Structure formats: structure tokens, C-alpha cells
Amino acid sequence: MRTLIKDLKENELANISGMVYKVRDTKYMVFIMLKDRSSFIQVSVDKQNEELTKKALGVTNGSIVSFKGKMVLSEYVKNGGKEFLPEDLEILSLADAYPLDENALPDTRLDYRWLDLRNEKKEWIIPIQSAFVQYLREYLYKNDFIEIHTPKLIGTASESGSSVFEVKYFDTKAYLAQSPQFYKQMAIASGYERVFEIAPAFRAENSNTNRHCTEFTSIDLEFAYIDSYEDVMHMEEEMLKYAMKKVKDEYGDLIKERFGIELVVPKKAFPVIKLQDLYQELKKRYNYEIPERDIGDLNAETEKLAYQFAMEEYNSEFLFIVGYNKAKRPFYHMRDENDNPLGYDLLYRGMEITSGAQREHRYEKLLHNAKEKGLGEDVKFYTEFFKYGCPPHGGFAIGLERMTLLMLGLDHIREAEFIFRGPNRLHP
């Protein structure tokens, strides 16, 4: 039976198995550093045992090895003074020499993603992401949300602003869902008052930036009986604070040590600013003027400066932006009496992580907004959801990879996705 390294008891015979990450041959001893999912330990082979020494010297980095022996405490050993004295070893899988080293180019790293993830920093990205998702779910279940699973193969495009992947579907065409937007709202019309989904979304955006994937994980929420989009913002804020605190409790020290960055759990309310006011602040403070084509929206440069502004003005890494122009927002956003959309974006550390809004649940108004955007028949299946009774509601979506990227201070989104998908990346 296998014992996990963390469960080893002093002087008790046990079998441990794991991956070798270093072999050191010295005059009297061979040291093998072994790692399992729980911890790591130094396995010390005395060269007086010739047979075992021969086997130990055949072990390479990355090999999977089982040892039978005892853990002892030794004042000479670092990392808690534990070492493992083996009687026997069995190589379960012998590893070839690695095809990449620390100087490998990003593309080579992606080719060998599973090896790159053995790096002592990168190995933590996915477990920390997993913990973040676990705590988001925990928050949502505690708050009466149910998890839904919506189709990713769909008959019409779902997020008008971005490009869609077309796939052959027998003798017709289908699309890959860009967002579960319509279906999460359909769930509200079904009578489920609070729903969420954490699932892939696909965008055919041919942009090689540090923040775009062609397939990403969208954390989507939708909930009913709201009075305003401010309720939606509040829900997001509370959810993020909850999950970030839990991640910090579990991994805060490790994040600091391995990633060299502090995970800051926001304590105050996230500041809110109107887009026009932000433009003015950026002009006044940094002499920055938004290019004409981006007016009514943000671009990467504006987001960076907005972060600087949020830190200087509010000491906040988060910033809500409201007051967008309807031309730049989807038709499903509810609008106020001046026809301005009741939606928001959330920036974290200078990058957009979320769009959210109160939705238009009134059938006639929704038809009007769709028509204004030149949408009619294409969204008929969606507008039908609002014909037979649908409560006021709203929701938002957070990109999981962007959130991971920012929490851990990674340079590129390809590191924040277990297996990256970008315009030039369909493998492995």
C-alpha cells in the first residue's frame, strides 16, 4: 500500500511513490528528491548497499519511482529534518532526458506543457486556480445558486461583439458558444432564480495578446429579482472577496514565495467611476486622451492607466466602470430613461475581467433594442424567452484565465490556462 509523504511516521516501514525531481551523487550517498501530491522528501541511499546504489544511479529526473523503507528524523536534512532510508526501490517509469530547459522559448514550453508544469513555480498555477473555483462555487451554493450546463454547440451566435467559430454539423452549420449568455437568461425564464455556470467559451479572435485565448473558461452568473445593476456589482464584489480570502488563507505565503506577488484581499467596497469621468481623470493626471475609435469603451492602455488611477485615488486594485455608450454594449443590456445601458465592466490590476449588466426583461423593449442593432430573426429564439413571464434579472461573466493571470502576476494568459488555445495553438 502507498503512503503519502506527508503521512509518513518516524521509523515505520512504508512504501512511497512519486516523481523524482533531483538526483545527487556524492562520495558516500546518492540523494534522490521525491515528490508526491502531498509533499516531498529526500531519499538517502547509502553506497554501502551496492545493489541499491546501482538502481538509484539509474534513476533520472522525472522518473516515477517507488521506495520501500523508513522515514527518520535527521538534523542534517533541510526541509523539516525528514529523510527516507530505503531498503528497496522500483522504477515504475524511467524518464528520458528533458527536451527543454529553463532557457526554452514559450512555444517549446507549450509543446511540452506537461513538462513545463513540473517547474516549481508553474506547478502551482493550476492547483491555485482550482482552489479559486472551489471557493467561488462554495460562495454560490451558500447563496442559493444552482449550477447549470448549457450547450456549447449552438445554432446562432451568442455574443454579437466577437467572432464566432463555425463548425460543420452533419449537413448544416453550428457555432461554438461564445458565452452562455442566452441560456443563462433562459434559465431565469424557466423559473430558476439563481444560476451559474463555469464552462468553456470560444472566441474566434485572431489576436495574439497576453489576455486573449480562443477558448477560455467563463464564470457566468445570472440572478433574478434585482432592483438595479448595482445589485449585480455587489454580488460580484462579495463573491470575489470571499474566494480571494480563502485562496489567500490557503496559498497566500506560497504565492508570495513562488510568484513574488502579494494576493491582496480587498477590504473596502470597490470604487465605481463613470467612463466619461475616467477619461477626464486620465487626461488631467496623465495627459492621456482616448483615441477616437475607442471612445465609449476602454482599450488596453486606458485599462493600465485606470489601474494607476485606482491605486492613487482609492488604493484599490479593482475598479468598476459604468456609464458605457449603448453603441458599444450588447442589445440585451437594460437601458435607463436616457437610453444609456445599465451595465458595467470590472477592472482588476489594469485588465478587464468582467462585463455585467441588468438585462432587458421586457419583451417589447428588448425587441426594440435588438432591432436598433440590426438583429431580428437571428435572436428571435432568445427574445421568445421573455414573452411568457420573466423576472427582472442581471448577471455577469468573469474570465477565469484572466483572473488567474492577475492574481498570480503571470506575464501571459497562456500560462493561466492548463492547455492554452490561441490563434496559433491547437496542440497539444
Catalytic (active-site) positions: 203, 205, 211-212, 352, 355, 402
For residues 129 and 400, the answer to whether their CB atoms sit within 8 Å is yes
35 vs 42: CA distance, rounded Å: 9
356 binds ligand AMO (CB under 6 A): yes
- In angstroms, what is the minimal distance from the CB of 369 to ligand AMO? 14
403 vs 244: CA distance, rounded Å: 10
For residues 165 and 156, the answer to whether their CB atoms sit within 8 Å is no
Measuring CA to CA, how many Å separate 140 from each of 143, 221, 237, 318? 5, 9, 13, 21
- In angstroms, what is the minimal distance from the CB of 233 to ligand AMO? 12
Which residue in the shown chain puts its C-beta closest to ligand AMO? 399
37 vs 130: CA distance, rounded Å: 14
Closer to ligand AMO by Cβ: residue 42 or 218: 218
Closer to ligand AMO by Cβ: residue 134 or 163: 163
Strands 172-176 and 166-169, bridge-based pairing: antiparallel
358 binds ligand AMO (CB under 6 A): no
Among 89, 198, 397, 407, binds ligand AMO (CB under 6 A): 397
- In angstroms, what is the minimal distance from the CB of 235 to ligand AMO? 12
134 vs 246: CA distance, rounded Å: 10
Binding segment (CB under 6 A) for ligand AMO, from list 53-61, 191-199, 280-288, 348-356:
348-356
What count of other Cβ atoms lies within 10 Å of the Cβ of residue 78?
8
For residues 41 and 8, the answer to whether their CB atoms sit within 8 Å is yes
Residues in a beta bridge with 425:
422
Length of the chain: 428
Q: Please give the size of the binding site for ligand AMO, defined by CB under 6 A.
A: 23
Among 236, 281, 352, 360, binds ligand AMO (CB under 6 A): 352
405 binds ligand AMO (CB under 6 A): no
111 vs 234: CA distance, rounded Å: 41
Closer to ligand AMO by Cβ: residue 357 or 390: 357
Residues 170-199 that bind ligand AMO (CB under 6 A): 179, 181
Show the cell assigned to 371. 432591432
Quick note: the x/- pattern for ligand AMO over 134-163, rule CB under 6 A, is -------------------------x----
281 binds ligand AMO (CB under 6 A): no
Distance of CA 280 to the CA centre of its chain: 32
Among 402, 410, 414, 425, binds ligand AMO (CB under 6 A): 402
Burial 311-345 (b: 16+ CB within 10 A, else e): eeebebbbbbbbbbebeebbbbbbbeeeebbbbbb
86 binds ligand AMO (CB under 6 A): no
Quick note: the x/- pattern for ligand AMO over 216-235, rule CB under 6 A, is x-x-x---------------
Distance of CA 139 to the CA centre of its chain: 17
Among 399, 406, 407, 425, binds ligand AMO (CB under 6 A): 399
Among 59, 401, 406, 408, binds ligand AMO (CB under 6 A): 401
Binding segment (CB under 6 A) for ligand AMO, from list 26-34, 53-61, 190-198, 390-398:
390-398
Show the cell assigned to 239. 463573491
14 binds ligand AMO (CB under 6 A): no
Among 154, 357, 390, 407, binds ligand AMO (CB under 6 A): 357
